[in-house]
Amino acid sequence: MTTPRSLPTLDEAREAALVERARTAEAARDEAFAEIFRLYRLPVLKLCVHVIGDASEAEDVVQQVFLSVHRALPLFRGDSRLSTWIYRIALRAAIAARSKRRTFEPLAEHLRAPSTEDEIQLRDEARRAAAAMDRLSIEHRAVLSLFAIDGLSHREIANVLGVPEGTVWSRLSAARRRLNDELRGG
Amino acid sequence: MPMATCESFEITIERERYQAASAEERAELATHLTTCDRCRVYSETSERARRGLAAIANAATSDVDWTKIEARLRGAGRARLRRTLILSGIGPVAVALSMWGLSRPGARVDDALGLTAIVGTVIGLRIGADIVRNRKLARPAERHEFFQAHREELARQIRRSTILRWVALAVIAVLLVLALAMPDLTVRGRIVYLVLAAIASAVWVERLFVGLPALRRELEMLNRVQR
Ligand SMILES: [Zn+2]
């Protein structure tokens, strides 16, 4: 199976069916959980990588997030979308992980050695962007990180952050402006 | 109609980037960009940063061994079950049996009760810590803004931990007084109280040097706001 580049479009009805299945017998719960894990592991990992700023730490946090999801799934009351609930768990776990970290392995090290002019330029931009991102407040990091997940709509981001839809755009542009300032300053 | 400011055009730039801008907004923005250097710089700088960050996230997440993580998730579930089983069943039985052999016949019931107290405390603390950790992460959706709710939750946890710290200290004091000052207590009885005091001390030390500082660091990080 190839890794999906963008978020699988999981409609609310399919999410609700998964949650319903998870409420029934143990075997069905494990099966539903396996599907939830496959659907959300990549976007959750990306969110964690951006918020924490460290890839190996992010992998550990993803594991912790899905353990929590697995245990709490029978208690999930459906007062938000399943995905919103999962992203919030991920955001909380990533914030806690970031506050505990003292040293970071620079994220840009994950980029493969550039061979073309374009790749060299991209790596340079990536390095500077990652360094600038590192100096932002956690709220700015969070909003930029959520928007960096492919296919996550601004409506859903508003739900994750618990703000009106219109507010996410001003939050995003404020964070972006701050990142631009850091890029110019650093 | 009031003239749109550069700040509102920055929002339109974001809306356009994520395909949420109307045709009218896009046209207005295009016109503005031909005359405004500031907004052009915003658009280009932020797009370069966005591309860079996306490239990094893609690179950092492309070679993840998901089967390993899945196996660890399953393993963690099994390991937890095993640990709970050992703690709640096999452990106490084994200890009780060995103590039974060591006890004087007259003291067996007392020893068994003391052991039950110790084992019960350990299991209770473990399960409690597990529930708290999970509740903290997986609590249901808040109606309020995420960060405000998270700050409030952390402040609550700090208050609770502070209380727990004092309660643990009081429990240690009471247990030590019981263990050392009660005149007609058997040696085994004293040991039980001392072990319970040691468990309470572990809770106290954990809150004081690990739990509370971590919570305070997290709250401090959340309070560092830039505008
Ligand atoms: Zn402008």
Residue A5: inside a domain, yes or no? no
Near ion ligand 1, which residues have CB within 5 Å?
A: B 6, 9, 36, 38-39
Question: Residue B183: CB partners within 8 Å, gap ≥ 6?
Answer: none
CA gap B27, A157 in Å, rounded: 26
Query: Could you tell me if the ipTM is greater than 0.90?
Result: no
Say which range, B3-12, B39-48, B88-97, has the weakest mean pLDDT.
B88-97
pLDDT in tens, A144-166: 999 999 878 999 999 999 999 99
> What pLDDT sits at residue B64?
87
Answer whether residue B68 is part of any domain.
no
Domain region containing B165: 140-227
> Is B71 within the bounds of a domain?
no
Euclidean distance between CA atoms A69 and A85, whole angstroms: 9
Of A62, A128, A172, nearest to B14 by CB-CB distance is A172
pLDDT of residue A5: 40
Q: How many CB pairs under 8 A join A and B?
A: 181
Spatial separation of the C-alpha atoms in residues B172 and A61, rounded to whole Å: 35
Band the pLDDT of A169: cuts 50, 70, 90: very high
- A174/B140 Cα distance (integer angstroms): 28
Is B152 among the domain residues?
yes
Domain containing A149: what range? Answer: 12-102+116-183
Write down the pLDDT at residue B77: 64
* Minimum CA–CA partner of B226 in chain A: A137
Same domain, B186 and B213: yes
Q: Are residues B22 and B102 in the same domain?
A: no
Q: How confident is the model at residue B31 (pLDDT cuts 50, 70, 90)?
A: very high
Task: Check pLDDT > 70 for residue A109.
Answer: yes
Could you tell me if residue B70 is inside a domain?
no
- A23 within domain boundaries: yes
Q: Are residues B84 and B163 in the same domain?
A: no
Most confident range (mean pLDDT) of A28-37, B24-33, B67-76, B193-202 is: B24-33
Same domain? For B132 and B208 the reply is no
Q: Measuring CA to CA, how many Å separate A92 from each of B103, B145, B174, B196?
A: 50, 13, 38, 34
Is B110 a domain residue?
A: yes
Domain assignment present for residue A72? The answer is: yes
Confidence of residue A32 (pLDDT cuts 50, 70, 90): confident
| Over residues B82-105, mean pLDDT | 65
B199 pLDDT more than 50: yes
**Does residue A108 belong to any structural domain of this protein?**
no
Name the DSSP letter for residue A53. S
Total number of domains constituting chain B:
3
State percent of chain B over pLDDT 90: 43
Closest Cα in chain B, distance from residue A67 (Å):
7
In a domain, A111, yes or no: no
Would you say the pTM of this structure is higher than 0.90?
no
User: Which of A31, A13, A14 has the alpha carbon at shortest distance from A22?
Assistant: A31
Q: What is the pLDDT of residue A4?
A: 39
Average pLDDT, chain B: 83
pLDDT score of A1: 34
Return the CATH number at A121. Answer: 1.10.1740.10
Residues B184, B149, single domain; the answer is yes
Residues B145, B227 within the same domain: yes
Q: How far apart are CA B5 and CA B27, in angstroms?
A: 15
Q: What is the CA radius of gyration of chain B?
A: 30
Put simply, whether B62 touches A (Cβ < 8 Å) is yes
- The answer as to whether B131 is a domain residue is yes
**B146 within domain boundaries:** yes
Closest approach of A12 to chain B, Cα-based (Å): 16
Verify that B39 and B103 share a domain, yes or no. Answer: no
Give the model's pLDDT for residue B43. 95
| Whether residue B133 sits in one domain with residue B147 | no
Domain check: are B192 and B207 in the same one?
A: yes
In a domain, B190, yes or no: yes
Q: Evaluate whether residue A171 is within a structural domain.
A: yes
Is B193 buried (19+), middle (13-18) or exposed (0-12) by CB count in 10 A? buried
Cα–Cα distance measured from residue B158 to residue B164, given in angstroms and rounded to the nearest whole number: 10
Last residue in a domain, options B138, B157, B191: B138
Of B70, B134, B220, the CB nearest to A71: B134
* Residue A6 lies inside a defined structural domain of this protein: no
What are the pLDDT digits (tens) for A45-88?
999 999 999 888 999 999 999 988 888 887 787 778 889 999 99
Residue B226 Cα to ligand 1 middle (Å):
22
Number of domains in chain A: 1
Closest by CA to B63, choosing from A111, A35, A60, A6, is A111
Residue B68 touches partner A, C-beta closer than 8 Å = no
Length of chain B as a residue count? 227
Task: Answer whether A177 touches B (CB < 8 Å).
Answer: yes
Residues B130 and B144 in one domain: no
Q: Quick one: B18 and B80 in the same domain?
A: no
Average pLDDT over residues B87-106: 64
Q: Tell me which residue in B69, B72, B221 faces A138 most closely, judged by beta carbons.
A: B221
Any chain A CB within 8 A of the CB of B67?
no
Q: Distance from the CA of A183 to the center of ligand 1, in angstroms? A: 19
Instruction: Give the pLDDT of residue B227.
Output: 55
Asked if pLDDT for residue B171 goes beyond 90, the answer is: yes
Q: What is the pLDDT of residue A72?
A: 83
